[in-house]
Chain A
């Protein structure tokens, strides 16, 4: 179960995995305040991508990815890759 070393690679792989099969993929976020770390996992029960961090600067990135995937899930998308920039 690989832990990615860079956020960029993880974020790209996670979004790609989600787009291959939105219904199968789940995103898991585990936060431990006592240990001061945060783990993200994106899996479709076959592939599993993980990223963990203890840096405050990653919280914003993780939260943005989380929000992005949530928005993808609740929008009726007819085709992938349509990003509207506001």
Chain B
């Protein structure tokens, strides 16, 4: 699992999407992260760890390659959401009924 900086992560994620256009899936996982880098201590040991409240982890994979990044503010949320929207464009477009619903006075 490769831990990357935010912008490298976005670049690699773009490449993952491009690689999987003909076959395969891209899986993105999002989870709140408290910043711990060591495993939880066993009973009896005091945990000298301060959980952070403002981070989350994003992981992405195409089944073979795995990448991840830690997100905290500021995060290029705009770039990230544009990336998702731009690449998830293979879905069916529904425009059969929508034109008849919008009764624009152009007639």
User: Chain A residues in contact with chain B, CB under 8 A?
Assistant: 22-23, 25-34, 36-38, 53-60, 63-64, 66-67, 69-71, 73-77
Contacts and interface: CB of A to CB of B under 8 A. Distances in A.
Contact of B91 (A37, A67, A69, A74): A37
B55 to A, nearest CB: 6
Contacts of A58: 91
B31 A33 contact: no
Nearest to B26: A31
27 contacts: A25-B32, A26-B30, A26-B31, A28-B28, A30-B26, A31-B26, A31-B28, A31-B88, A32-B26, A33-B22, A33-B87, A33-B88, A33-B90, A34-B22, A34-B24, A54-B91, A55-B94, A56-B91, A56-B94, A58-B91, A59-B84, A63-B81, A63-B88, A71-B77, A73-B55, A75-B73, A76-B54
A32 B87 CA distance: 11
A11 to B, nearest CB: 15
A20 to B, nearest CB: 13
A69 B28 CA distance: 14
B30 to A, nearest CB: 4
Nearest to B31: A26
Contact of B77 (A25, A36, A70, A77): A70
A16 to B, nearest CB: 16
A63 B77 CA distance: 11
Interface string B82-94: 0011011111111
A53 B93 CA distance: 12
Contacts of A60: 85
